[in-house]
Chains A and B, each alone.
Chain A
Amino acid sequence: MNFIAIDHVSLSYGDSKVLKDISLTIEKGELITLLGPSGCGKSTLLRVLAGLETFQEGEIYLDGEEISERAPRDRNVGMVFQSYALFPNMTVFENIAFGLSVKKLSKSVIKEKVNAVLQLVNLEDKADYYPEQLSGGQQQRVSLARSLVIEPKVLLLDEPLSALDAKIRKQLQMDIRALQKKLGITMIFVTHDQEEAMILSDRIFVMSEGEIVQQASPSELYAKPKSKFVATFIGNYNILSADELKQLDSAFSPKRINNKYAIRSETIRLEPIPGEEAIRFHGKLEHTITLGSTIRCYYNTGSVQLTVDLLNRDLEKRELDQDAELYIHRDHIVAIEG
């Protein structure tokens, strides 16, 4: 029995279908992300799980129980919002204590539990502050603590880090992942940032227009995107048609006519690759962009323009308008759907 199962869930607002027959399962203690572009239905799916949105078809199971019809407060889930949603009239301590106090726990138990999570999120010295007096990152940690203290079966996080600056975001990503492993809590994390998804998750569910188009571990997803959509969304891939690929690799014979092929930009190299399965072709360097540790080079092979990411060294090999020899291993050419 899966810990969480979403079974053929569909949801529409009027005529527009926002979730289309979604099914997925999650194991206990997993951190999974829902990744997808704006408007694809990530938040809606999360809100369906929390009981904040009513849906038309399908069922949801949590820890062996059907919870589709239950009110949010009877589901035993926690939720962290992008906008924090802290209660402005309460101190940090009172905010965190809220979920326990509505369960009518005794004062001393509440105090003990709240202090424990405060320590967990490193905010012991801010217990008497009001949300307004905290930075965004601190507020989000309070929000996290407030959800953790009620010991939910699953913690839902809707783009919790999107409003924070890059440095704090990186730090909190690490913190959240560490906490999740330490407590063994199941988390569903929504983001539209593929890097964030890669860093955090055990598994990634890529969504597009109300559907889950691929589910895989971060490395698997990166190496083997299933479709053009996934390839362009999660990384910097060259997408080639069968004809274009044939121009580069004369020995290539397509298995299916309408397939496309994805080649990650960092798998194309300037040095020969040993072995039978390497192919070689020519290209002219048209322009470059320095990204930092890598340089993005645009080569024209005559039939197609290719993006190639090279480590930022070997200066002599990157003169513009020079003809260069390029190499790629056939294993790095991934067949994808349309």
Chain B
Amino acid sequence: MKAKKTHYTSYLILAIFGLYMLFPFVSTFFYATSTKWSNTMLPNDFTFKWFIQLIEDPNFAAAVIRSFALTFTSLAVVLVVMVPTVFLVYTSFPKVDQFMKGLVLMPYAIPGVILATGLLRMYSGTVIPMYLVLVGALFIGSLPFMYQGIRNSLESIQTKKLIEAAEILGATRLTSFIRIILPNIRLGLLITTLLIFSGFFGEFVLTNLLIGGRYETIRIYMLRRMNENGHLASSIMVAYFLLLIGISLVITYLTSPDRRGPKKSKRHQILGNRISIAESVSILKIGVKKEKRQRI
């Protein structure tokens, strides 16, 4: 009996916590689906017109495309540069590795606004387009994540041992990287990439200050419409939030314990064991922090 009671209590606590977390989202949702909701307890009506208006607005579609474009360019640059670099540093330059571990934390030390102002001073009026400066800044911003993420993946698959084994078998460093290391860190990379994706997609401070209205991303669009119409802005918020939830669910799925254990498809096996839940949660936490920081 007693054990059951504690059970109820913990469920209760969980439920209250869940409500607390969900409340802003639910109320945003209702605000987004109402025409008027000011001095009543519940909204006056229920409508999807804001969503429809949003979808029909060509500026919205353009903003989404711009956000994706910016995100994918930055991600591509980050991955292409960082994965081989971290691999080389990790396998061949242990001293540089020590140094890098500290260095990559630097972006945390510089608030976004200051970074943006500094970049503006440095690059405005030069031939370098601000778009590139932004991609560069996002690259730097993602370093703490990327470096540690890739490094953890490499460590968890015993990269050094595997490379040694491969080289003795006659493989070059490049062959071992492509045929052994990449396939084995694929999941870790995917998760890190998804996290950075949501970071980039929701990036506001740098984008706004560096390019602002000239390149309206989803977050800047959101801000503009917020001043015009709160209901519409809420519907954007809801859509944006659903996207983030989608990404989180994918990550949760990829790291779920059910996916481990023997006798699974080839893909599953590779994923199994490689990343602990704790690890992914800790990555997620940093992700959340970053989100907050950018909103402020």
Which residue numbers of A lie inside 8 Å of B, CB to CB? Answer: 50-52, 71-73, 75, 77-79, 81, 83, 85-90, 98-99, 102-103, 130, 132-133, 146-147, 150
Contacts and interface: CB of A to CB of B under 8 A. Distances in A.
Interface string B129-169: 00000000000000000000000000001100110111111
B252 interface: no
B212 interface: no
B168 A77 contact: yes
B272 A50 contact: no
B170 A103 contact: yes
A133 B262 contact: yes
A147 to B, nearest CB: 8
A115 B168 CA distance: 21
B266 A150 contact: no
Contacts, number: 75
Given A85-B162, A132-B262, A133-B263, A72 B167 contact: yes
A132 B269 contact: yes
A144 to B, nearest CB: 12
Contacts of B184: 87-89
Chain B interface bracket (under 10, 10 to 19, 20 to 34, 35 or more): 20 to 34
B207 to A, nearest CB: 38
Contacts of A87: 162, 165-166, 180, 184
A73 B171 contact: yes
Contact of B171 (A52, A75, A79, A98): A98
24 contacts: A50-B164, A51-B168, A72-B168, A73-B169, A73-B171, A77-B168, A78-B168, A79-B165, A83-B161, A85-B165, A86-B165, A87-B166, A87-B184, A88-B270, A99-B170, A102-B169, A102-B171, A102-B172, A103-B170, A130-B269, A132-B273, A133-B262, A146-B169, A147-B169
Contact of A132 (B165, B180, B183, B272): B272
Instruction: Please give me the 3 A-B residue pairs with the lowest Cβ-Cβ distance, nearest first.
Output: A99-B169, A85-B165, A89-B183
Nearest to A50: B168
A52 B164 CA distance: 7
B266 A85 contact: no
B185 to A, nearest CB: 10
B175 interface: yes
Nearest to A143: B165
B180 A89 contact: yes
B161 A81 contact: yes
Contacts of A50: 164, 168
Interface string B180-195: 1001100000000000
B168 A88 contact: no
Best-buried of A73, A77, A90, A103 by chain B (most CB within 10 Å): A73
A81 B180 contact: no
A73 B168 contact: yes
A79 B169 CA distance: 8
A102 B175 contact: yes
Contact of A73 (B157, B170, B266, B273): B170
A72 B164 contact: yes
A78 B263 CA distance: 31
A29 B266 CA distance: 40
Given A89-B183, A89-B270, A132-B269, A102 B158 contact: no
Nearest to B171: A102
Contacts of A98: 166, 169, 171, 179
Nearest to B165: A85
Contacts of B263: 133
A99 B166 CA distance: 8
Nearest to A78: B168
Contacts of A77: 168
Nearest to B186: A89
A147 B172 CA distance: 17
Nearest to B272: A132
A71 B167 contact: yes
Contacts of B179: 98
A69 to B, nearest CB: 15
A73 B180 CA distance: 16
Contacts of B270: 88-89
A146 B163 CA distance: 14
Nearest to B163: A85
Nearest to A80: B165
